[in-house]
Structure 1
Amino acid sequence: MLAKALTIVPEPDSVAGGLGYEPKWDGFRAIVYWDGESVEIGSRGAKSLTRYFPELVAECARQLPQPCVLDGEIVVRSAIGGGEHLDWEALSQRIHPAASRVASLSVETPASFVAFDLLGLGSESLLDAPFADRRAALETLFADLSAPLHLTRQTRDVALARRWLVEFEGAGLDGVVSKPLAAGYAPGKRLMLKTKHVRTADVVLTGYRVHKSGSGVGSLLLSLYDARGELRGVGGASAFTDVRRRELIDELAPLVADDPHGEGERSRFSGSRDMSFVRLRPERVLEVKYDQMEGERFRHTVQFLRWRPDRDARSCTFEQLEVPAGYDLAEVLSTPVE
């Protein structure tokens, strides 16, 4: 089941039957199947994640008291500044083709599973049951479970949920999800409501990658100046129409650098994809919309808003970025119901 984006956390009476509010986790969405003998973990796109998280497979088999189907999020917790924080980079490294590396990472950066829905229990499907009933059954199922299996927090207090939206970002969370208490589970439907952090930044355009079709600009490469006056890559912007991709090739041609060919960093998700790019002179500024940072990079691909011809590229520094107050992830996981 998916979520529709809102700009504010909605009032509980805005949906028939009321709303329950939960933190929005930023990890790998996963469905865990436990039939009493074996555990399977599937991604939102129906790909198997089982081999990448052997520690979760073992803990689910050891702790889950009866067969069930769980909806939740796989995350990695890292200690930062005396507290804990979601670590997206460490999580992304867990998708590795080598079995030996998977085994070592399961020890070096073990994952946790945060459950937020129960789709089946024993031989019974709960898809048609109201979410309030599924949540109650999930709380009973998790009553005696322990880390790395967690039950997400929930409240019906909208004021508290709005406080979570601000405070929990400091632990790396992504916002708040509002769930209709009377609704069944509808795969592929956007019945849930999500409120995420939305911010803007002025960034320097330093290159582009050609679209995978071979025609037009696929993504813009973005940078900011650090305290030493050096440009540092912070992420990319994409999702252009076919027409706009072709227009950008001509529009950006005057900015192509004397040494136009570059090679970008590869991630676990890039595979054999061509990571080469066209280098541009750092002269053009654009405004983008983003949710949050992961270290010195945008956590997710950002959205292009507009060109900023009024801004000097040198003025686009990290200082403009809002830094959330720190919050300990362990506190987020400590109390499931409020």
Structure 2
Amino acid sequence: MTALRADDPVAPMLAKAVATVPAPDSVAGGLQYEPKWDGFRAIIYAAGTDVQIGSRGSKMLTRYFPEVVAQIAEQITVPCVLDGELIVRTGERGSERLDWEALSQRIHPAASRVKKLAEETPASFVAFDLLSEGSTSLLGEPLSERRARLEKLVGPLTAPLHLSQTTDDLPTAQRWLEEFEGAGLDGVVAKALTSPYTPNKRTMLKVKHHRTADVVALGYRIHKSGQGVGSILVGLYQGDELYGVGGVSAFSDARRLELIDELAPVVERDEQGDPLTGEGERNRFSSNKDTSFVRLRPERVLEVQYDQMEGMRFRHTAQFARWRPDRDARSCTYDQLDVPVAWDLNDVLL
């Protein structure tokens, strides 16, 4: 296969959630464990001074991270395509951690703001896979081969470019899951050493500290006080259909008012400019309750924490974690969810 190109972007390989770190012998050929970085997934297309950064949804992030582009152009002399994570580090030496809020602010339309933030909160890139080197695609090669070539290419580089560490030792991976959370990392990822790179397929396994999902904002209800957003209605795609999966609430008074402004750009409006509304589902507990909501264009993605699913919906109200400006709404599908292992209730009851 020929080398990969930014004008025909490759979709990153994805991960499926599992409850615990899997044992190495659970997969033929063994597993490689890596820290799960809490940043923006990024596919780097490097060819000398021509450097492009693609997001998980193949949107170009190049203009938002000029300091990373400059370092890649300076340090990487071999044309290649790298898979990794853009991160922002904050804190004093010895207690540094990842800063999601600072990273999120880097996505800004104003060039002057981008320049200012690149100087004040510079980003780093952590590489964990090599998809193309020279004129040859490595997608069909096993992870063990891709990793060996990645170490030769990226290992000698200096900050802000980094090589993600790995281990094949299960106790070490389990320790990472516990200890790295203090540095702001998101969990542990396990990859089959014999596996080729499979774009847009969930062939990796991830263990996170919390059960989370990236969902699409569909609408919002006004708080019962009449001031601000009381809850955000969210959904997930299955094929081309977008299904409501529940709501997100428990906002402070100040946050409710902030959300009105944050969601204003995606409010659906009629020809007169007035917000369009919809009617929510009713049940025996809400037969007399106002279930109307302000409709939103399905463009904004947010990460939520949830406890469990009941059918195709969250069993309880989810909690807002953060906005995900790096995610495309159509990428928010049901297959990202952690599905519990089937269990007979008779085996639980005494």
Q: Shorter-chain TM-score: which interval?
A: 0.5 to 0.7
TM-score, length basis structure 1: 0.66
Q: Which amino acid aligns with 1:164?
A: W
Q: Which residue matches 1:165?
A: 177
Q: Which residue matches 1:174?
A: 186
Separation in 2, partners of 1:50, 1:76: 16
Separation in 2, partners of 1:68, 1:216: 41
Q: Deviations over 1:280-332 (max 9, x none)?
A: xxxxxx95677xxxxxx73479x9xxxxxxxxxxxxxxxxxxxxxxxxxxxxx
| Contact persistence 1:130–1:183 (CA under 8 A) | yes
Pair 219,119 (structure 1): closer, same or farther in 2 beyond 3 Å: same
Q: Which residue matches 2:200?
A: 188
Structure 1 residue 221 and structure 2 residue 249: aligned? yes
Aligned residue runs from structure 1 range 196-207, under 5 A: 196-198=208-210, 207=230
| Contact persistence 1:208–1:218 (CA under 8 A) | no
| Contact persistence 2:47–2:79 (CA under 8 A) | yes
Q: Which residue matches 1:106?
A: 118
TM-score, length basis structure 2: 0.64
Pair 160,210 (structure 1): closer, same or farther in 2 beyond 3 Å: closer
Q: Secondary structure at the match of 2:97?
A: strand
Q: Which residue matches 1:247?
A: 281
Q: Which amino acid aligns with 1:89?
A: E
Q: Deviations over 1:39-62 (max 9, x none)?
A: 000011110000000001000000
Aligned residue runs from structure 1 range 280-299, under 5 A: 298-299=321-322
Separation in 2, partners of 1:53, 1:132: 30
Deviation at 1:65, TM superposition (A): 2.8
Q: Which amino acid aligns with 1:155?
A: T
Q: Which residue matches 1:42?
A: 54
Separation in 1, partners of 2:155, 2:293: 57
Q: Percent identity between the aligned chains? A: 56
Q: Which amino acid aligns with 1:247?
A: E
Q: Which residue matches 2:155?
A: 143
Q: Which amino acid aligns with 2:189?
A: V
Separation in 2, partners of 1:92, 1:248: 36
Pair 138,37 (structure 1): closer, same or farther in 2 beyond 3 Å: same
| Contact persistence 1:216–1:246 (CA under 8 A) | no
Separation in 1, partners of 2:211, 2:245: 24
Q: Which residue matches 2:22?
A: 10
Separation in 1, partners of 2:197, 2:211: 31
Pair 211,136 (structure 1): closer, same or farther in 2 beyond 3 Å: closer
Match of 1:153 among 165, 169, 186: 165
Separation in 2, partners of 1:253, 1:78: 49
Q: Which amino acid aligns with 1:121?
A: E
Pair 10,209 (structure 1): closer, same or farther in 2 beyond 3 Å: closer
Q: Which residue matches 2:65?
A: 53
Match of 1:25 among 34, 37, 44: 37
Match of 1:78 among 74, 90, 98: 90
Separation in 2, partners of 1:190, 1:261: 34
Q: Which runs of 5+ in 1 are unaligned?
A: 225-229, 236-244, 263-268, 272-285, 291-296, 304-338
Q: Which amino acid aligns with 2:34?
A: E
Q: Secondary structure at the match of 1:159?
A: helix
| Contact persistence 1:175–1:195 (CA under 8 A) | yes
Pair 217,151 (structure 1): closer, same or farther in 2 beyond 3 Å: closer
Separation in 2, partners of 1:63, 1:210: 45
| Contact persistence 1:198–1:289 (CA under 8 A) | no
| Contact persistence 1:217–1:246 (CA under 8 A) | no
How many equivalent pairs are there?
Answer: 256
Q: Which residue matches 2:102?
A: 90
Q: Which residue matches 1:66?
A: 78
| Contact persistence 2:233–2:248 (CA under 8 A) | no
Separation in 2, partners of 1:250, 1:94: 45
| Contact persistence 1:216–1:247 (CA under 8 A) | no
Deviation at 1:252, TM superposition (A): 5.2
Separation in 1, partners of 2:234, 2:80: 42
Separation in 2, partners of 1:184, 1:55: 31
| Contact persistence 1:56–1:112 (CA under 8 A) | yes
Match of 1:208 among 226, 231, 244: 231
Separation in 2, partners of 1:62, 1:166: 36
Q: Which amino acid aligns with 2:250?
A: L
Pair 65,207 (structure 1): closer, same or farther in 2 beyond 3 Å: same
